[in-house]
Homo-oligomer: A and B are copies of this chain.
Amino acid sequence: MVKVAILGFGVVGSGVAEVLTGNGAGISKKADDLIELKYILDVRDIPDSPFAGCFVKDFAVIEADPEINVVVETIGGVGAALDFTERALKAGKSVVSSNKELVATHGRRLLELAAQNNAVYLFEASVGGGIPILRPLSECMAANDILEICGILNGTANYIFTRMVQDGIPFEQALKGAQANGYAEQNPAADVEGMDTCRKLCILSSIAFGWHLLPEQVPTTGITKITLADEAYAAASGRRIKLLGRAIAREDGSVCPYVEPHFVSLQDPLGGVEDVFNAIKVKGDAVGDVMFYGRGAGKLPTASAVVADVIAAARQLTRAGYHPWQENRPEKVLPADQLESAWYVRLAEGTLSTGEKLTIAGGEPGESGWITQPMTRGQLDALLADRKVLSVIRVLD
């Protein structure tokens, strides 16, 4: 019997409690014979909870209890979450986390700390919510050199794009709608400015390439400047706008990571991903392109991934955890502005000498949309010098 403590009783933590105990309607009881929920750490009093007998307010109780084998960290952030994770691992307890900021920032050190203490640190839920992606990438694709990661990793941003296109409403209004129905936080910066996508890309890349990619090494552009006119030009070219996290392995061994909105063809499986869904495309040298698709967030999907890791830790299927990743290699990081792409350009006036011209109904007088030839951002900036540019978005090749 494995005994579990959950740190934090927010959306994810309460979902984990439900899935672990079968208290949620229709949720599997597969874990029941194996796993018992003993503690929930939360600063609040929650007397009406069906788990009322489990609540504690002092992490030292959990830390000192030799019966606790697995600690689930759903606090978020890099404050208390980091402190408690370190203390749990040092006490020889395995830790399962949904905390992408913590993993992206300190994952390498925490994986090492786990190994030193004969424990595991698992975080399937930190990327793609309930979509199985880290374990398949780590284990099922182990025979491949990974050539590229390319993913729609933030459901909020994707939902906003879908509402803009399907309802014809501008960014700010789509964001308000997303906030109204709970798909976006009241402070939406991490979602719409790309930082959430950046953190998930770092976790995927660290597993794929074997060394810790850090968030500050990933140039990150969000979606706040995307207009309905941009969406109309995308449609006119048979494409949709998607916020992508990409990391491309180069022949020289370097990796080019970045987060940016892209024009994506509707022929590409990523182009058809709508609403809050996530999709992660991984290219391996043997397997080619594979894609993983599903809801990237939400209480029960995320809890599903957390509990799978708890079961894995409990069954000791993963004594070595994910394939280890090494220290950060700054010399391996290629700046995204050196990556050639075609570009979507919207000009207030005039024309471009090369590229494909796009036409939409109802544009401003004199304006035009273009898809350029492949070039670097520097070359594009030179081409656009002295032009009045309304929008620039990278086109996914």
In the complex, the answer to whether B140 meets A132 with C-beta atoms within 8 Å is: yes
In the assembled complex, which residues on chain B have CB atoms less than 8 Å from the CB atom of A304? 141, 143-144, 284, 286-287
Minimum-distance CB pairs A-B, first 9: A132-B140, A290-B294, A130-B287, A132-B136, A143-B307, A286-B304, A291-B293, A287-B304, A286-B300
Does A225 belong to the interface (CB within 8 Å)?
Answer: no
**Does B318 lie within 8 Å of A317, measured CB to CB?**
yes
Q: With a CB–CB cut-off of 8 A, which chain B residues contact A308?
A: 139-143
**Chain B residues positioned under 8 Å from A141 (CB to CB):** 132, 304, 308
Binds B, one of A24-32, A53-61, A74-82, A190-198: A24-32
Given A135-B136, A318-B317, the answer on whether A286 and B19 have CB atoms closer than 8 Å is yes
Binding site for B on A (CB under 8 A): 19-20, 24, 26-28, 30-31, 124, 129-132, 135-137, 139-145, 269, 272-273, 284-295, 298, 300-301, 303-305, 307-308, 311-312, 315-320
The residue on B at minimum CB distance from A124 is B140
A319 to B320, CA, bound (A): 13
Q: How far is the CB of A190 from chain B (nearest CB, A)?
A: 23
Q: Which of B24, B144, B290, B320 contacts A315 (CB 8 A)?
A: B320
Closest to A143 in B: B307
| A291–B290 touching, CB < 8 Å | no
A302 to B216, CA, bound (A): 37
In the bound complex, residues from chain B placing their C-beta under 8 Å from that of A129 are: 287
Say yes or no: B303 contacts A143, CB within 8 Å: yes
> In the bound complex, do residue A26 and residue B145 qualify as a contact, i.e. CB atoms below 8 Å apart?
yes
Closest B residue to A35 by CB, please name it: B143
Check A130/B295 contact, CB under 8 A, given A27-B145, A143-B304, A145-B28.
Answer: no
| Residue contact A19 to B320, C-beta cutoff 8 Å | no
Q: How far is the CA of A30 from the CA of B144 in the complex (A)?
A: 8
